[in-house]
Amino acid sequence: MTNQELEQRLAGALSRTAPDDLEGVLSRCAEQKGDVISVTRKKKYPVMRNLVAACLTVALVGGGMIYQQAYAVTSIVSLDVNPSIELKVNKRECVLVCEALNAEAEAVLADMNGGADLEGTKLNVAVNAIVGTLMRNGYLDSISSAILISVEDGDQTRAVRLQQELTAEVDTVLLAQASEAAVFSQTVKKDVALEKQAKENRISTGKASLITQITERNHELTFEKLSALSVEELKDLLEAGAPGMPIGREAAVSAAKQYAGVSGLSSVQWEVDAELDDVPACYEVDLYISGMELEYAVDAYSSKVIRGTPVTISKNSSGAFPDSIGTNGEKLIGEDAALDAAVADFCARYPDLRSKDITNHCVELDMDDGKVRYDVKFYLNGYEVDYDIDAKSGCVLEWDADHEGLVAETKIAANGDVGRAKAMQIALAHAGLTESQTTRLQIEKDKGNRRMVYEIEFKEGKTEYEYIIDAATGVVLEHEKDRDD
Amino acid sequence: MLLEMIQTTEYETRLSRKELDQFLFRVAAGETEALSLLYHYSRVAVYATALSVLKNAHNAQDVTQDTFVRVWESAAQYRSQGSPMAWILTIARNLALTKLRQGKRQAELDEERWDAIPAEVPNITVEDRRLIQEALSGLSDEERRIVLLHAVSGLKHREIAELLKLPLATVLSKYHRALKKLRMFMKGDDAL
């Protein structure tokens, strides 16, 4: 089955199950059409006048009470991801104190003068700024991330209102950044014992309250150990029924590195994502070594690696790249052999070319879908060539080439348009085909992001080609090739 | 008559960007007929986008309707740049993400499961069920999103990359991996 046939079957199945309720849509649109509210600038002035009048009234009537109200804490709002930040707020919903409760929070608030810059600002503005900073620091960027908003206030009505308003505020920030992180919120009643416990463990009372719910489910879990987990981990743990104590992110990374055989390499970088609500519960760990990505899943309770390829890596003479990677210390063919294999294959396709004419090259080791490969790039007689070579067998997995000559030849199109025929010729030359070899050839001129482009599609046997060519210069902007198995 | 024709040719002919642009401009001018045409051409793509985020057919149906109401409200803000379909699908995706967050807050844990068969489609064929429920459930969330968008929206891989805020290389590799997985599943299915 070709890609196209598979996609057509999918599209067909979805079209038969997708809703077809045009009437429902039109009736809702009609309702709104009848209730159109004309927003004009004029409307704003009475509102502004009322606000000014209200402010004056408060100033005159409030008198000496204002000073006292301004410095009295009425609400405590905490934001927990793993950084925990606490905001003490007055009756006018201005921030009196912004405090980092743990080291991660201190790092997040560093560019806001440790939180002091937020003091005196409105609560919603401060929360907006903090969530923005959390995102810039790499928190809240995966769908499994979560932020917990907790509001403690003696006035329960105000607590609920603040909870709703802040949740909407955070939602807006996340939506604007296309973050898929979850937002949890709660109101918390004052509890002196819980506050003490929270303070001792450098977390917010909001997070402490979440931990208490977990320890109530499983008495063997300790408050202290759970304090080290992120909101995302705690939320998943609670949903999973708190079956045990997760090993935590650091231990998961350590287990993955040990399993991968790269514990001793200082250049290893990683990303870790807790999936405690999966079955089996695990930490997904991605290790990055010399531009290569290795994926592992570590059991969240036993530290056992349950998915991923064990590897052994040794460095080549220059120490720059690993030259051996495999399950049993299998040797790889090496960068030089990978380059030779790629060049030999390319020159066999274009007999006029000579391998000695290579002007520049680059070889990188990569792992994709459990397969170790060399990404080879070289330049030869105006061609920019990319190859994927199987790192163990030396076989060609994929190849692709651009030709600069064709671009240079067409760059000076007098009317700013190379024309359909030339665009087609460029695409076919790029693919190494003649028009007679292709079927379903289509060309369409369209407006791209910033320029006019030709979109060209054709098939050769079971291979589908798609090109986007700059109409003015003939440059191949994008190309795709799908091979059907 | 026109609508009948559109329904029968929905997946054989996709609208060009220019035509979609024109429909959106007409929707902005308050033409419900243009909205009807837009609905028939893009409802499956909108539904697939919502479903790929929410993983739940019932919620995806709600978001599909909300999306077209939002298109009706916002068409005047549309500017002809890039892909009009991507503009519509961005609305669908944002509405779906909002619903997803609301659902998570309400701890609707069932939404985590891939549940692509709406309750009110009783006569679904075994083949359709196997494909969109069982085969797609074997993909990761991102693979499923990419494959669905490519299969039904007519968006190019680079437009999908832009919509999902992913590097093009990631979209391409996940797309090919996903199709490979689907093909393996379907092969096994045919062998049964």
One DSSP character per residue, chain B reads -HHHHHHHHTTT-PPPHHHHHHHHHHHHTT-HHHHHHHHHHHHHHHHHHHHHHH-BHHHHHHHHHHHHHHHHHHGGG---SS-HHHHHHHHHHHHHHHHHHHHHHTT-GGGGS-B-S-TT-TT--HHHHIIIIIIHHTS-HHHHHHHHHHHHH---HHHHHHHHT--HHHHHHHHHHHHHHHHHHHHHHHH-
Look at the block and give the residue holding tokens 């916002």. Answer: B74
Q: What is the pLDDT of residue A64?
A: 44
β-pair partners for A282: A275, A299
β-pair partners for A384: A379, A402
pLDDT tens digits for B132-187? Answer: 888 888 888 888 889 988 888 878 787 888 888 887 777 887 888 888 888 888 77
Q: What is the pLDDT of residue B137?
A: 85
Please state, for a pLDDT cut of 70, what percent of chain A lies above it: 78
Q: What is the pLDDT of residue B66?
A: 93
Please state, for a pLDDT cut of 90, what percent of chain A lies above it: 9
The interface predicted TM-score (ipTM) is 0.84
> Residue A55 pLDDT more than 70?
no
β-pair partners for A452: A447
Q: What is the pLDDT of residue A312?
A: 54
Name which residue leads in pLDDT, A458 or A44.
A458
Mean pLDDT for chain B overall: 78
Give one DSSP letter per residue of A278-295, joined into a string. Answer: SSS-EEEEEEEETTEEEE
Question: Distance (Å) from the C-alpha of residue A230 to the closest C-alpha of chain B?
Answer: 17
* Cα separation, A166 vs A95, whole angstroms: 14
Is the omega angle on the peptide bond into residue A280 within 30 degrees of 0, that is, cis?
yes
A85-97 mean pLDDT? 90
Residues 45-84, chain A, touching B (beta carbon < 8 A)? none
Question: Distance (Å) from the C-alpha of residue A12 to the closest C-alpha of chain B?
Answer: 8
Interface test mutation site (partner A, options B46, B97, B100, max chain A beta carbons within 10 A): B97
Question: Distance (Å) from the C-alpha of residue B78 to the closest C-alpha of chain A?
Answer: 15
Give the pLDDT band (50/70/90) at residue B33.
Answer: confident
State phi, psi for A331 to the nearest 5 degrees.
Answer: -80, 145
Q: What is the pLDDT of residue A87?
A: 93
Give which of B93, B4, B81 is closest to B45, Cα–Cα: B93
Look at the block and give the residue holding tokens 């709660």. Answer: A186
Question: Distance (Å) from the C-alpha of residue A282 to the closest C-alpha of chain B?
Answer: 15
Q: What is the pLDDT of residue A416?
A: 64
A109-133 mean pLDDT? 87
* Burial class for B130, CB neighbours closer than 10 Å (0-12, 13-18, 19+): middle
- Is the pTM value of this prediction over 0.90? no
Q: What is the pLDDT of residue B11?
A: 35
Considering only alpha carbons, which residue of chain A is nearest residue B147? A7
Q: What is the pLDDT of residue A76?
A: 92
* Cα separation, A378 vs A384, whole angstroms: 6
Q: What is the pLDDT of residue A11?
A: 86
Give the pLDDT band (50/70/90) at residue A290.
Answer: low
Q: Do A22 and B30 touch (CB under 8 A)?
A: no
Residue A350 DSSP one-character state: S
Residues 424-463, chain A, touching B (beta carbon < 8 A)? 444, 446-449
Considering Cα of B50, then B56, then B60, then B62, what sign does the dihedral take? negative
By Cβ distance, the residue of B107, B168, B179 closest to A6 is B179
A206-218 mean pLDDT? 89
pLDDT tens digits for A253-262? Answer: 999 888 877 7
pLDDT tens digits for B4-18? Answer: 333 333 333 456 677
Inter-chain contacts counted by CB atoms under 8 A, chains A and B: 141
A116 touches chain B (CB under 8 A): no
* Amino acid in the structure at residue B109: L
H helix and E strand count, chain A: 15, 19
pLDDT tens digits for A417-438? Answer: 788 888 888 888 888 888 888 8
> Residue A323 pLDDT more than 70?
no
> Residue A150 pLDDT more than 50?
yes
pLDDT tens digits for A161-171? Answer: 898 888 888 88
Q: What is the pLDDT of residue A265?
A: 67
Question: Distance (Å) from the C-alpha of residue A68 to the closest C-alpha of chain B?
Answer: 37
Q: Helical H runs in A283-435?
A: 335-349, 404-410, 420-431
Residues 61-80, chain B, touching A (beta carbon < 8 A)? 61, 64-65, 68-69, 72-73, 80
Question: Distance (Å) from the C-alpha of residue B114 to the closest C-alpha of chain A?
Answer: 13
> Residue A293 pLDDT more than 80?
no
pLDDT tens digits for A355-377? Answer: 888 877 877 776 665 667 788 88
Give one DSSP letter per residue of A27-96, joined into a string. Answer: HHHHHHHHT-----GGGHHHHHHHHHHHHHHHHHHHTTHHHHHHHS--EEEEEESSSEEEEEE-TTSBEE
Q: What is the pLDDT of residue A266?
A: 64
Q: What is the pLDDT of residue A354?
A: 83
Span between the terminal Cα atoms of chain B, in Å: 42
Give the pLDDT band (50/70/90) at residue A294.
Answer: confident
Interface test mutation site (partner A, options B42, B94, B101, B146, max chain A beta carbons within 10 A): B101
Residues 138-167, chain A, touching B (beta carbon < 8 A)? 143, 167
pLDDT tens digits for A220-240? Answer: 899 989 998 988 888 888 888
A319-335 mean pLDDT? 57
Q: What is the pLDDT of residue B50?
A: 93
A32-58 mean pLDDT? 37
Q: Do B104 and A10 touch (CB under 8 A)?
A: no
